[in-house]
């Protein structure tokens, strides 16, 4: 008797699930709601996408863009016409953003982190390569430099111009850890090595 009740219950709950399943299957997602174009897939070619528009303002006349988060690489607010690609013989960014020069042009100098070498210096005699640091340490040695570190030469690897227009609303709100975090980076001194098990040379 008990067994029969269990089987009966089983059948009832299975059919409830089946009906619920059918109801869910009937909910459809329209093609128009799927993409950013807001049309069905067959009408895609009727849509003109928003244009990519970079700032035309010449360096010295642009308005700085608020940092995305604390110590984010700032976006380039001015036009980069004629500056890219950066090559060994042509890096105009450096000519305006080098400390000492930048201040006179009202541009921000590149920060301390860009004059810090994070690469380990290994021994290489032309033939044999030898690690020069303790195996138990992370393979990083940090040393301050007086000039721009080679790893930072290609500015556009990290700093990009910002296109105007808003295809999707951005609701992200930054919470900066330092008071002027929206316009200034705080990444220098001991904060460069915070949490790193590394050698400070
Ligand atoms: C002719 C001088 C000049 C050149 C060349 C130049 N900049 Fe600038 N840059 C400025 C000035 C001045 C500002 C401040 C905003 C303004 O006045 O337009 C600025 C602002 C910036 C900022 C924003 C800093 C912040 O605090 O938000 C970044 C990032 C930047 N430049 C990167 C670059 C990169 C990368 C290049 C090379 C592709 C470059 N700049 C080339 C003068 C220059
Ligand atoms: C490997 C990535 C990377 C490269 C390459 C790089 N930057 Fe940066 N830059 C950053 C980051 C991340 C920050 C913010 C944190 C910091 O200060 O280090 C920053 C910050 C800056 C700032 C703002 C400093 C401040 O005090 O707020 C300037 C100006 C700048 N960079 C200019 C340059 C220029 C000019 C070059 C090329 C010569 C360059 N950067 C190359 C990642 C990079």
Cβ–Cβ < 8 Å for 161, 101: no
User: How far does residue 185's CA lie from ligand 1's centre (Å)?
Assistant: 15
Nearest listed ligand to the Cα of residue 160: 1
Residues (pLDDT < 70) of the chain are: 1-25, 133-141, 196-201
The per-residue DSSP string of 120-152 comes to: ---EE-SS-EE--S-TTS-S-EEEE-SS--GGG
pLDDT of residue 200: 52
What is the pTM (predicted TM-score) of this model?
A: 0.81
CB 161 within 8 A of CB 59: no
Pocket test for ligand 2, best of 77, 107, 152 (most atoms within 8 A of CB): 152
User: Residue 1: its pLDDT value, please?
Assistant: 45
The encoded tokens of residue 157 equal 């690897």
Instruction: State the pLDDT at residue 19.
Output: 52
Measured from the alpha carbon of residue 101, the closest ligand is 1
Question: For position 33, what pLDDT does the model report?
Answer: 87
Ligand 1 centroid–CA 107 distance in Å is 6
Q: Where are the domains of the chain?
A: 55-161
Distance 103 CA to ligand 1 centre (A): 11
List phi, psi (to 5°) of 67: -65, 145
pLDDT of residue 79: 96
Backbone angles phi, psi at 199, to 5 degrees: -95, 130
Ligand 2 pocket (Cβ < 6 Å) reads: 71, 73-74, 93-94, 97, 108, 110-111, 113-114, 148, 152-155, 157-159, 184-185, 187
The pLDDT of residue 124 is 84
- Residues composing the chain: 201
- The CA distance from 199 to 201, in Å, is 6
Apex 72 CA angle, 109 and 144, nearest 5:
50
pLDDT in tens, 31-89: 888 888 889 889 988 988 788 889 999 999 999 999 999 999 999 999 999 999 999 99
The reply to whether CATH 3.40.190.10 applies to domain 55-161 is no
């Amino acid at each position: 008797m008990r067994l029969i009740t269990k089987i009966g219950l089983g059948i009832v709950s299975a059919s409830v699930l089946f009906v619920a399943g059918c109801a869910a299957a009937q909910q459809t997602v329209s093609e128009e709601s799927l993409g950013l174009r807001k049309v069905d897939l067959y009408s895609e070619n009727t849509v003109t996408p928003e244009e990519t528009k970079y700032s035309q303002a010449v360096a010295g006349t642009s308005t700085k863009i608020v940092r995305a988060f604390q110590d984010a690489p700032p976006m380039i607010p001015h036009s980069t016409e004629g500056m890219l690609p950066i090559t060994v013989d042509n890096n105009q960014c450096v000519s305006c953003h080098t400390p000492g020069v930048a201040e006179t042009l009202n541009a921000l100098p590149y920060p301390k982190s860009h004059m810090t070498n994070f690469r380990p210096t290994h021994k290489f005699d032309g033939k044999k390569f030898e690690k020069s640091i303790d195996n138990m340490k992370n393979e990083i040695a940090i040393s301050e430099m007086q000039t721009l570190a080679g790893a930072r030469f290609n500015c556009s690897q990290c700093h990009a111009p910002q296109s105007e227009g808003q295809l999707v609303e951005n609701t992200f709100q930054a919470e900066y850890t330092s008071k002027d975090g929206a316009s200034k980076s705080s990444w220098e001194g001991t904060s460069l090595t915070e949490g790193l098990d590394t050698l400070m040379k």
